[in-house]
Structure 1
Amino acid sequence: MTTRSTVRRRGTAATAVACALLVVAGCSGTTKDSEEDNTKPEKKTEATANPDAPIKEGLKVAFLPKQINNPYETIVDKAGMAAAKEYGGDAKEVGPSDASASSQVSYINTLIQQKQDAILIAANDPNAVCGPLQQAMDQGIAVVAYDSDTAKDCRQVFINQASSEEIGRSLVRNLGKQLNYKGKFAILSATQNATNQNTWIDFMKKELEDPKYKGMELVKVAYGDDDDQKSFQQTQGLLQAYPDLKGIISPTTVGIAAAARYVSDSSYKGKVVINGLGTPNQMRKYVKDGTVEQFSLWDPNDLGYLSSYTAAALASGQITGAEGETYKAGKLGEFTVGKDGEVILGPPTIFDKSNIDKYDF
């Protein structure tokens, strides 16, 4: 039989147990204010930059290029890894052998598991890499895009070789002068989803809206997927499909070298203008044999160097990626973070017979 006093004793014991379990709360009961606090989402503390903070020792930095065997990106990444040695970091290059949209995802996941301090990526696709990169940032890993950007929410800083608008418009301006603003031309790009290529092509098309280009016609944008043989075949296909083609712009180092190689051994040499973005060492023989009059590019060594120091600045808390922040990038000096986290290396250089032997990259 249960007496009233027994019930009271049981109730007191239950209360004591509850208090023991809730000792952190002081067993003080739930007020309206604490009830509201429990339902409010936790606010994330905004990171603040400390420009005077030293670069952390032993930073683990990983470069993830579009593809591991791309000659241009090899130059960029080697320069970035050399820069890491300057600031006491440990850098490496990893990546796929193809430039497909999703080929970089598994590498990002592995780098997260390895607890890298910073991931630097030249994105094959602006969105395919977003999920894992956001996971990386959530875990405190600095994410820098270089050469080819990701979607803006998927990295903190983008290192742009030069103003995207200037690159795109200047390529059309250069070709226009060579063609005397007359004739059909094509664009030989990398992959269909490459952020940098598509941005430059958009600005090329805007430049073509100027009335001075009314005598020029863009007949096709072809894609060589940053593959030498495919780019070579695409060049052949363009010239067969448009026998009256007067010029080809290839804003990719793989593409312009492949196009120049095809034209140099064909009847089109001296008749079709090849222009675009290339490295001096790839293009030297085509400039000297008259296949290519000029092309342009920035120094990929500087791009890798700046990207590496930017990742170190992020991982060390010197910057957060907010507009207006400044930081030092070793021998290159001071840089400022612009709108949407963009940092611009500088204007491209035009290479021709007069200066190409001054460069070795």
Structure 2
Amino acid sequence: MSGHHRFLRGFGMPLVCAALVAVTSVASAAASAADLKPGLKIAFVPKQINNPYEVTADNGGMDAIKEFGGDGKVVGPSDAGASSQVSYINTLITQRQNAIVIAANDANALVPYLKRAMAQGVKVVTFDSDTAPAGRQLFVNQANAESIGRGQIQLLSKLIGGEGEFAILSATPNATNQNTWIKWMQEELKKPEYAKMKLVKIAYGNDDDQKSFVETQGLLQAYPNLKGIVAPTSVGIAAAARYLSTSPKKGQVMLTGLGTPNQMRAFIKNGTVKAFQLWDPGQLGYLAAYAAANLASGTITGKEGESFDAGKLGKRTIGKDGEIILGPPTTFDTSNIDNFNF
């Protein structure tokens, strides 16, 4: 996240106050962590065990479990098939885990097994990828569509100085998440501060590397005054970056969107891309672990409006249908990209 450095300008009193504030916040954090039962057994079940994104998310969960003194483990399949997670769920029920935190490979196939887990007193939290609501008590979601869409326009505006023509390079014309994000981008654009920015085209690369590459080329030819491209798809942003990296427009057309640090690192380092966004999967796993621990400790039951303490992520509130949102996406740039591996 962006580093907010607070420099202490004065000495004497401000330092004493700062010290007192630090002590009280530590004490209150300790009090809320003390509400959690000690030694909770919490198992994370990723979509597949060796996917770098999933590993980062699970590691975040294990860090949280260490913080509150639980007993955490990660078990799961090596392939992301719908039925591959079932045997792991059944084993975890037998082992009497207090909670299962799962990134579901299928919205419906796992529901009967997770229902059985809940019937036996095991708390179930989905994260990153949900089941139907009947299969779990809570769903920890990366970011809501509105904060993603609006955030993309806010970042682009910074990059192009608040004025000029820009295009969107999406996935397929019917991709639900892409279209929802684009709707929120268009909503954000209505604000007066973006009066000098103009969306000239929505292009579709169909989440295909080669087609996205060709679409980028087409945009630069069709719009010689183009100042920016937003690609809210990891395939699209990487393909567009590859095209721009050898184009005379490198450094003139600002490319941003949603991508992973590992695919975008080279393009950040060579100046093709200044900044892009995505949620931090480590924080997602961390939040899911705290949600599971609070459920298992009885401090929350999963009802809308309940809130709980999530360690370094602060107080969190449960929304509609048991959904908890991590928050706005993280912006990656030269200052922080090397801290991430997924």
The two structures have a TM-score, normalised by structure 2, of 0.69
Does 1:216 find its partner at 2:197? no
Alignment of 1:97-136 (within 5 A): 97-136=78-117
Which residue in the other structure is 1:249 paired with? 231
Does 1:204 find its partner at 2:182? yes
Alignment of 1:44-123 (within 5 A): 54-123=35-104
How many pairs were matched up? 292
Alignment of 1:9-20 (within 5 A): none
2:140 and 2:323 in contact (8 A); partners too: yes
1:297 and 1:348 in contact (8 A); partners too: yes
1:245 and 1:272 in contact (8 A); partners too: no
Name the CA distance, whole Å, in 2 between partners of 1:240 and 1:80: 40
Which residue in the other structure is 2:213 paired with? 239
Which residue in the other structure is 1:288 paired with? 269
Q: CA deviation at 1:166?
A: 0.8
SS of corresponding position for 1:144: strand
Name the CA distance, whole Å, in 2 between partners of 1:188 and 1:94: 32
Which residue in the other structure is 2:330 paired with? 349
Which residue in the other structure is 1:150 paired with? 131
Q: CA deviation at 1:136?
A: 1.9
Which residue in the other structure is 1:9 paired with? none
Name the CA distance, whole Å, in 2 between partners of 1:272 and 1:300: 29
1:100 and 1:124 in contact (8 A); partners too: yes
Does 1:187 find its partner at 2:182? no
Q: CA deviation at 1:94?
A: 2.3
Name the CA distance, whole Å, in 2 between partners of 1:125 and 1:248: 30
> Could you give the per-residue CA deviations for residues 102-145 of structure 1, whole angstroms, max 9, x where no partner exists?
54344333333433221112234433332322222222211112
2:151 and 2:329 in contact (8 A); partners too: no
- Indicate how the Cα distance of structure 1 residues 169 and 148 shifts in structure 2: closer, same or farther if over 3 A, else same: farther
Q: CA deviation at 1:187?
A: 2.6
Name the CA distance, whole Å, in 2 between partners of 1:332 and 1:188: 32
Name the CA distance, whole Å, in 1 between partners of 2:79 and 2:255: 25
Does 1:315 find its partner at 2:296? yes
> Could you give the per-residue CA deviations for residues 303-357 of structure 1, whole angstroms, max 9, x where no partner exists?
222211111111121111111222222343322222221222332232334x336
Q: After the TM superposition, which of the residue ranges 310-319 and 123-132 deviates more from structure 2? A: 123-132
- Indicate how the Cα distance of structure 1 residues 333 and 177 shifts in structure 2: closer, same or farther if over 3 A, else same: closer
Name the CA distance, whole Å, in 2 between partners of 1:296 and 1:56: 36
1:249 and 1:276 in contact (8 A); partners too: yes
**Residue 332 of structure 1 aligns to which amino acid in structure 2?**
L
Name the CA distance, whole Å, in 2 between partners of 1:171 and 1:102: 36
2:318 and 2:324 in contact (8 A); partners too: yes
Name the CA distance, whole Å, in 1 between partners of 2:91 and 2:248: 47
Which residue in the other structure is 1:39 paired with? none
Name the CA distance, whole Å, in 1 between partners of 2:248 and 2:122: 50
2:203 and 2:215 in contact (8 A); partners too: no
Name the CA distance, whole Å, in 2 between partners of 1:114 and 1:100: 23
2:306 and 2:318 in contact (8 A); partners too: yes
Q: CA deviation at 1:289?
A: 0.4
Q: Is there any run of 5+ residues in structure 1 with no aligned partner, and where?
A: 1-50, 224-233
Name the CA distance, whole Å, in 2 between partners of 1:102 and 1:186: 34
